């Protein structure tokens, strides 16, 4: 394991933030134990008798992975006797506060919190339900369910059932079990493709149950092969059938499942693009995706974004956030797009 490293001031430019296997120039070895590093980390955060340096807050917290942020949070409480997240909320504001507080939240708790807000706010935020349940793995969904109950005292499935209905609710509940099949059933690939065709394009009306059963339970690799077989049978992609046979939230959920089965990074690249191309930026979606995928597949999302839209995600976000964050943190767009926290180098 490499020696612990601490952040020291450095020029904020694109090359500084590129992931690299070699030690970055903005880091210098720090002699001593890990608690020394943590103490140095928190010197720029809100504490007793000092004002908050927002640039330092950003640099310290984004230069480390989420696990290390939790260590910083613990070190802060030991040093000042205060909760760091509460202190940040009292010092920051607006979108900058939302971003920093989100980065300070453990990933599973962050997902559980987003779902709780989606269900308990004014109306149901179906976009959040669809995004999280369609894109997370079975194990991740099971962990989210446990944390949801621990933090909010209720069952996620019960809350979802209370806010949704019909075939849409049924498919959400199936996904919520986190029990998608793992293997490819060679004998049923052709059958599933034919069943989907017969349930949609091949009949008058739509057999939603058949779509729900296949899309909600089959393994991802099995579904990819079913989609290929479906195209040979119908002459069109499965997405076209879903668009023609379903509407509303059920259509959105089925399309999200198909897109995630084909490529999770591609799904999020499209979601980011849409969030920045609506009349008025969808700040919540932008923040949620950038935070939740930052240590998962952000580099792949960047590559897909470039391939799909012919422009870099960094440049797009830089232009978008110029009027929001430039004065506080001109380097924020690249930090958000980096995809590899510097803490991984420790």
pLDDT at 47: 64
Is 15 a member of any domain?
yes
pLDDT at 314: 87
Residue 29, beta-bridge partner list: 5
Tell me which H or E stretch contains 156.
helix 156-163
pLDDT at 62: 79
Is 136 a member of any domain?
no
Rounded (10°) CA dihedral 99, 105, 107, 111: -80
Is 318 a member of any domain?
no
Cα 112 from Cα 144, distance rounded (Å): 5
| 81: nearest Cα among 47, 44, 106 | 47
Is 28 a member of any domain?
yes
Task: Say how many Å lie between the first and final Cα of the chain, rounded.
Answer: 7
Q: Give the residue from 262, 290, 317 where a domain finishes.
A: 262
Is 179 a member of any domain?
no
pLDDT at 51: 60
Q: Give the residue from 242, 262, 282 where a domain finishes.
A: 262
| 60: nearest Cα among 282, 313, 47, 48 | 47
| 172: nearest Cα among 117, 113, 132, 201 | 132
CATH of the domain at 84: 1.10.220.10
Is 83 a member of any domain?
yes
Total domains in the chain come to 2
pLDDT at 147: 99
Is 9 a member of any domain?
yes
pLDDT at 117: 97
- Whether 175 and 133 have beta carbons less than 8 Å apart is answered as yes
What is the chain's pLDDT, residue by residue, as a tens digit (346 residues)?
A: 333 333 333 333 333 333 322 333 333 333 333 544 555 566 666 664 556 667 778 777 877 889 989 988 998 888 889 999 998 898 888 888 898 999 999 999 999 999 999 999 788 999 999 999 999 999 999 999 999 999 999 999 999 999 999 999 999 999 999 999 999 999 999 999 999 999 998 777 789 999 999 999 999 999 999 999 999 999 999 999 999 999 999 999 999 999 999 999 999 999 999 998 866 778 899 999 999 999 999 999 999 999 999 999 988 887 776 655 555 555 566 666 776 543 333 3
pLDDT at 63: 78
pLDDT at 55: 73
Is 139 a member of any domain?
no
Q: Around 332, how many Cα atoms within 13 Å sit in the side-chain half-sphere?
A: 27
Q: Give the residue from 262, 295, 328 where a domain finishes.
A: 262
Cα 296 from Cα 207, distance rounded (Å): 36
Q: Tell me the residue range of the domain where 198 lies.
A: 186-262
């Amino acid at each position: 394991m490499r020696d612990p490293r601490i952040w020291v001031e450095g020029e904020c430019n694109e090359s500084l933030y590129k992931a690299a296997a070699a030690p970055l120039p903005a880091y210098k070895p720090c002699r001593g134990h890990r608690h020394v590093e943590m103490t140095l980390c928190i010197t720029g955060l809100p504490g007793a008798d000092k004002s908050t340096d927002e640039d330092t807050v950003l640099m310290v917290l984004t230069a480390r992975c989420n696990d290390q942020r939790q260590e910083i949070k613990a070190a802060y409480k030991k040093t000042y006797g205060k909760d760091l997240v509460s202190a940040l909320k009292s010092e920051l504001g607006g979108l900058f506060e939302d971003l920093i507080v989100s980065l300070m939240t453990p990933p599973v708790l962050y997902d559980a919190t987003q779902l709780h807000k989606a269900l308990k706010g004014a109306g149901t935020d179906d976009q959040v339900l669809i995004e999280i349940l369609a894109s997370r793995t079975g194990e991740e969904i099971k962990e989210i369910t446990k944390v949801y109950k621990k933090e909010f005292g209720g069952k996620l499935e019960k809350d979802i059932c209370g806010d949704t209905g019909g075939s849409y609710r049924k498919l959400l509940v199936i996904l919520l079990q986190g029990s998608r099949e793992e293997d490819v059933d060679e004998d049923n690939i052709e059958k599933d493709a034919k069943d989907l065709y017969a349930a949609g394009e091949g009949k008058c009306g739509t057999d939603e149950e058949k779509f729900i059963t296949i899309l909600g339970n089959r393994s991802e690799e099995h579904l990819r092969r079913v989609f290929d077989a479906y195209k040979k049978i119908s002459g069109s992609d499965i997405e076209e059938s879903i668009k023609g046979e379903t509407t509303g939230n059920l259509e959105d959920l089925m399309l999200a499942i198909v897109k995630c089965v084909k490529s999770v990074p591609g799904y999020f690249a499209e979601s980011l693009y849409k969030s920045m191309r609506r009349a008025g930026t969808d700040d919540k979606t932008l923040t949620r995706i950038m935070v939740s995928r930052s240590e998962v597949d952000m580099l792949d999302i960047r590559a897909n974004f470039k391939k799909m839209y012919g422009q870099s995600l960094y440049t797009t976000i830089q232009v978008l956030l110029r009027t929001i964050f430039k004065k506080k943190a001109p380097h924020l767009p690249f930090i958000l797009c980096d995809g590899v926290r510097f803490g991984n180098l420790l």
